[in-house]
Amino acid sequence: MDNQEQVREFLTSRRAKITPEQAGLPTGSRRRVPGLRRSEVAALADVSVEYYAKLERGNLAGVSPAVLEAVARALQLDDAERAHLLHLAQAADGSDALTRPRRRRTKDQWKPHRSLQWTLDAITAGPAFVRNGRMDVLAANELARAFYADVYASPGNQANLARFNFLDPASRRFYPDWDLAADIAVAILRTEAGRNPHDKGLHDLVGELSTRSDGFRTRWGAHNVRHHGTGTKRFHHQAVGDLTLAYEGLEMAAEPGLTLTIYTAEPGSPSEEGLRLLASWAATPRTLAPHSSD
């Protein structure tokens, strides 16, 4: 993942998304680009056209925070996009510890502290798990292992949520809103690529998914990023049927780069009852018949 190429494609794609109307500029009748012109972004950021063209060619080394913020405002970047731009600039400078090459433990090398596993196991009302920026599930409570039964059973998947999403047909059933789940997965990986551009494991995963999935390759080229901290998702579990769950993602201070995610259901809802049934299913040695949606 070449830094200059990432910068060039990210800035170009963001510029194409902003219409003159959104920027408060006259539309004109002879526009040949889908969004703003470089000259218009330069004017909005109060820099010369030549200087902005240099930035859009991928040259962010030495760019001041004030200029980056001005460009972010001109392109109307959201918080996740602004953070991504800053990470790309830090990588260009080589000045941030997060962006310098460093040894990163693989999934097999990382083991949860006993206290972390105790904490996960103490959460009994909802699936709770720890993942990294590559979307490897590193540790989970019993309910999360039952919840992600398809992910763990997927051949060659290695408990990776992105690989499951794009390479396992079972994901189409598990995620009723599959396109949304796919968009989120790629945005998380793209965000991680900006934060840790030298992560070989991430390079390998992106290369594998790009080769094997047209859907992934198209989404990866869109350069969308996002913060994935809270929200609601729909699932269809093979044993208990439809579930609508809220989630909270918490960054782990003791393990930078890892996220603890907890899914919960609305009290008194059918989904809460579904989680109770799933907990019973997880604790039962026999295999229950798959849930029928008919």
Phi-psi region of 121 (alpha: psi -120 to 50; beta: other; left: phi over 0): alpha
Asked if residue 178 has pLDDT above 90, the reply is yes
Count of all residues that appear for the chain in the document: 294
Per-residue HEC secondary structure of the chain comes to CCHHHHHHHHHHHHHHHCCHHHHCCCCCCCCCCCCCCHHHHHHHHCCCHHHHHHHHCCCCCCCCHHHHHHHHHHCCCCHHHHHHHHHHHHHHHCCCCCCCCCCCCCCCCCCCCHHHHHHHHHCCCCCEEEECCCCEEEEECHHHHHHCHHHHHCCCCCCEHHHHHHHCCHHHHHCCCHHHHHHHHHHHHHHHHHHCCCCHHHHHHHHHHHHHCHHHHHHHHCCCCCCCCEEEEEEEECCCEEEEEEEEEEECCCCCCCEEEEEECCCCCHHHHHHHHHHHHHHCCCCCCCCCCC
pLDDT digits (tens, 9 = 90+) for 38-76: 999 999 999 999 999 999 999 999 999 999 999 999 999
Q: Six-digit token pair at 169?
A: 């047909």
Distance CA 267, CA 164 (A): 29
Question: What domains appear along the chain, each with residue ranges and CATH number?
Answer: 3-93 (1.10.260.40), 114-283 (3.30.450.180)
- C-beta of residue 250 within 8 angstroms of C-beta of residue 128: no
Asked if residue 189 has pLDDT above 90, the reply is yes
Confidence of residue 1 (pLDDT cuts 50, 70, 90): low
Asked if residue 99 has pLDDT above 80, the reply is no
**Burial annotation 201-237 (CB, 10 A radius, 16+ → b, else e):** bbeebbebbeeebeebeebbeebbbbebeeeebebeb
pLDDT digits (tens, 9 = 90+) for 104-128: 455 555 677 889 999 999 999 999 9
pTM of the model: 0.81
Distance CA 73, CA 134 (A): 29
Confidence of residue 288 (pLDDT cuts 50, 70, 90): very low
Distance CA 193, CA 195 (A): 5
pLDDT of res. 285: 67
Q: Which residue has the higher pLDDT, 255 or 217?
A: 217
pLDDT of res. 291: 45
pLDDT digits (tens, 9 = 90+) for 256-286: 889 999 999 999 999 999 999 999 998 886 4
Closest CA to 143 of 256, 278, 24, 30: 278
pLDDT digits (tens, 9 = 90+) for 151-175: 999 888 889 999 999 999 999 999 9
Name the one residue in this structure whose structure tokens are 């994935």. 228
Q: Which residue has the higher pLDDT, 293 or 181?
A: 181
Q: Six-digit token pair at 229?
A: 């901290």
Q: 249 to each of 117, 132, 294, how far by Cα in Å? A: 17, 12, 34
pLDDT of res. 253: 84
The amino acid at 270: P
Say how far residue 28 (Cα) sits from the centre of its chain. Answer: 37
pLDDT of res. 108: 55
